[in-house]
Amino acid sequence: MLDLVIATSDDPMEPDQYRFVATDAWWLGSFGPHQHLTEHRLRTWIPARPERDWLLDRSLTGRQRWLTGSLDEAKEDGFELHDVAPTGLFRAPFGEFHREREGRCVEPTERRRGSWQVPTPEFLERLPRDPAALLERLESDHPGRWAAPFSGAVDALRTCLVPAELRAALYRALTGLPGVTVEDHTAAFDGRECVVLVHDAGRTRTELMIDIADGQFAGERDTTRIDSRCGLPADTLIGETAVHTAVVGELGEHPDH
């Protein structure tokens, strides 16, 4: 485990405020032999008071990057081109947006149990702050899959809900995983200087971007390490996100910057 030290801090939140998380993403879509990246925009408002609703505004920009084949070729082959991700405004307690889409009601008192994929405050509070103990917890919670401990940590960090003290311990814990290294210099990413943790193993190289200003999750980048079965050559970018956070006073409010 490397002695990685990253300064982390959290913007203070009043009880009536919301954490605003903006995610701009290019995600992979597949239609048989035709592969493309589609640009998604997600804006999420997370309340400081747990009994209040979350809000998600999800949209597609219409921009695409074809990696193999083309739009016309995919249409000629009979594929109905659409993205599976629903778009629009979704409002639900505890961020249970999938339940709203399925027409189910979530009672305000219902709480998720919490996991790395859907971390609740209670789940995060129970995690150890010692990097070695945190590494053991990551590995024990993700048995049987060598890549899963790193992916599980990124799932939690992606929510931007991991508090500063835990983020610092988690970044150091990740350096104890096989195939994880730290870039020897900070990288400019989306206008920000970032520390980059790299998981370089298996079929995909994943770069985890960490904003040096506050140690917050800043995004990620996935690149193929070997030629894929669907025709993508090695070193092909297959996914990229840039994430920004801020504190706002109202549900649906956008920050000034």
How many whole angstroms separate alpha carbon 194 and alpha carbon 171? 13
Strands 88-93 and 187-189 come out as unpaired
> Backbone phi, then psi, for 248, in 5-degree steps?
-130, 165
Q: Which residue has the tokens 């971390």?
A: 119
Report yes or no: 59 and 87 within 8 Å, Cβ to Cβ.
Answer: yes
Strands 204-211 and 192-201 come out as antiparallel
pTM of the model: 0.90
Q: Which residue has the tokens 């249409």?
A: 75
pLDDT tens digits in sequence order for the chain, 257 residues long:
778 889 999 999 999 999 999 999 999 988 778 889 999 999 999 999 988 999 999 999 989 899 988 888 888 877 766 666 788 999 998 888 866 554 444 454 445 679 999 999 999 999 999 999 999 999 999 987 767 999 999 999 999 999 999 999 999 999 999 999 999 888 877 889 999 999 998 899 999 999 999 999 999 999 999 988 778 999 999 999 999 999 999 999 999 86
Of the CA atoms within 13 Å of residue 118, those in its CB half-sphere come to: 9
Q: Which residues are bridge partners to 58 per DSSP?
A: 42, 88
Amino acid at site 183? E
Report yes or no: 218 and 196 within 8 Å, Cβ to Cβ.
Answer: no
